[in-house]
Structure 1
Amino acid sequence: MAFLDLDGLRCHVQWLEPRDGGAPAATVVLLHGLLTDSLASYYFTLAPALAGAGARVLMYDQRGHGRTARPPSGYRLERFVDDLENLLDRLGETGPLHLLGNSFGGTVAFALAARRPAQVRSILAVESEPATAAWAGKLDGILRRAETELVKKSTLAWVAAQRGRHTARLARSAGVLLAQTTLAREIPASRLPAEAELRAIRCPVLAVYGTRSDLAPQAAWLEALLPDCRSTFVPGQEHSVLIETPEVVRELTLSWLRDQGVPLRAPAADLATAGTPSRAADRRSAR
């Protein structure tokens, strides 16, 4: 565990080196989502498998989340991307990097690829999308509702009954974040990249959706927008694909990295399993 100063932001960073002590087969950066998420979503699920396969794994708590500092303002998307750039520069990670982003983390990954295309080798986006006017409008509604509901005892009691006490604690923490910062108003006011900037993202992209997610219908749009994008769907899942089916995301990630030419060093049996994820249906673009 380490804390780094990123242009005045005290940032909590974790990284795992290849478990076998060899040279990294690749560097994979794991980006978490908003409000109830943190690097902990990866630490006990995906990250150890990647390190075991020979990757260098970089994780950090985004501003306002986890153990990273919580400034009262400064939550537009571009500030999150600035943080990632500063972190990579501080660590000397020049790339090419493989980015895996969950929800808002994927939005940050797309924004970095648009800003620094030579530094990003590939993107795996789980239940995510690039920043657009539609994205901003949707986040505005979601965050305003969360700002109102997550301070209510009745809401937190319902979450505890339906999702468990741990999720209720995360929801309560998210309510505090929204109450103490301008995040709910700044995220929708983020600078939105022009369509030409998004079309310029040339790296390979794998977009992962739950079949019951409201993001699943955007798959065709994203494949048409990006030059090298394909989609895969996890049956029966909604938005929480990473949390509900971490083993599927792990298999998809290992298989995806192999497809990108990363010389993983996991045992052959593990790689064989990773190459044939049983619970995800793949759809490659016809282009």
Structure 2
Amino acid sequence: MLIFLVFLMWVEVGGYIDGFVDHQFTVDNETQAELRINVDLIVATPCNYINTNVRDATADLLMAAEKLSYEGVGFFVPPWYVVNGRRPVRTTELDEIVQRGMPAEFIQREQQAFEGQPACHIFGSFPVNKVKGEFHITAKGYGYHDRRRPPPEALNFTHITNEFSFGDFYPYLDNPLDETVRVTNEHLHTYQYELNVVPTYYRKLGMEVDTYQFSALNFDKSATRQVPGIFFRYDFEPIKLLIEEKRISFIQFVLRLTTICGGLIVISSWLYQTFDRLLVIAIGKKKASRGEERPHGLLE
């Protein structure tokens, strides 16, 4: 019984020191007008054929090409990337989030070098309004008039997603589209992603990480009647997820220890009485009480 008591006390002390992770959903009442989208993509089409834009529900049109960097590269798929599939869902622990929550910035290239390369590396961050919108990568002259329209056989929207995230850029945090690949053999093909974004706030022992989580659904089909390209449609949920490490108060901790000790005393007493009754039933009252009689003195 003593060993069991020590074990329970140890568990309570450990729980008090380590704390617990609390998850709460609240209404997102922040008046943040803008945030950033961070992208790192490789598209199997030369950079001089590609156009990138953002359009949102306020009818604003952002020329994302002015904010992003372009680099001509060869198209290579790392062997550990997920090809034409979904990444396994994994819930990241709070400790891991805090350890990896180191903000960074993309290196902005002043000169765009992409001549003669079969693929285009598109990377960087750009601001968007915090409303429903769409970021798309299309070929020049498709969906609108442009004299630089490339021939269909020069296009292929097979792409590698190294990074796609919202808010501050945390390169070591995992996102649903990171390290995924979409492959097609068609020259005119459309990829569409539907993203539902939830603001998420992590807090642990004074360390804070303010970021965004999102779920992703993807569709693709031949672009015989549609504009070929890659379309990321995003929408922001009106809720916010707060994940925080908390501890119970010291008074609650003492009360829980007292309750454990009191409960063990009551259980011990109940077990003793039960054992005594079973002993009386098994061997009889006289034998069970043998040795309890008061010894007689010489004068009695």
TM (norm. structure 2) is 0.25
Which has the higher relative contact order, 1 or 2, with Cα contacts under 8 A spaced 6 or more apart?
2
Find the structure with the greater CA-based Rg.
Answer: 2
TM (norm. structure 1) is 0.26
Identify the structure with the greater strand proportion: 2
